[in-house]
């Protein structure tokens, strides 16, 4: 089981965030997040948003630290990437 986390360099809602992904399956990712008590609402399409204050805890639990480009490469290579939809109707699209 391998999950990956990038550095907390993504700003939002007054704090910095990391992304947590799996290169195997969403089931693996959800199981890992569940063991840490990461709420389901933190899951967005293909990753969990992790606030910077939880970064070290997630790494101690076994997430492998990688850069953002490497994280995206692994996610895409696994066929698990679900990009945001753009254009008309994207706000109401399921996914």
Residue 19 lies in a domain: yes
Residue 94: predicted pLDDT: 40
DSSP code string of 46-76: TEEEEEGGGHHHHHHTTPEE--HHHHHHHHH
67: left (phi over 0), alpha (psi -120 to 50) or beta: beta
Residue 57 lies in a domain: yes
Residue located via tokens 């969990």: 48
Spatial distance between the Cα atoms of 63 and 4, rounded to a whole number of angstroms: 5
For the stretch 1-54, pLDDT in tens is: 689 999 999 999 999 999 999 999 999 999 999 999 999 999 999 999 999 999
Residue 87 lies in a domain: no
Model pTM?
0.83
Residue 46 lies in a domain: yes
Spatial distance between the Cα atoms of 58 and 76, rounded to a whole number of angstroms: 22
Number of domains making up the chain: 1
For the stretch 73-95, pLDDT in tens is: 999 988 888 877 666 654 444 44
Residue 95 lies in a domain: no
Residue 18's domain spans which residues?
3-82
């Amino acid at each position: 089981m391998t999950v990956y986390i990038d550095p907390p360099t993504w700003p939002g809602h007054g704090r910095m965030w990391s992304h947590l992904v799996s290169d195997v399956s969403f089931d693996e990712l959800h199981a890992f997040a569940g063991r840490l008590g990461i709420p389901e609402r933190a899951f967005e399409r293909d990753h969990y948003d992790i606030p910077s204050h939880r970064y070290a805890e997630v790494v101690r639990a076994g997430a492998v630290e990688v850069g953002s480009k490497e994280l995206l490469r692994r996610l895409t290579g696994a066929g698990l990437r679900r990009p945001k939809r753009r254009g008309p109707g994207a706000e109401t699209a399921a996914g």
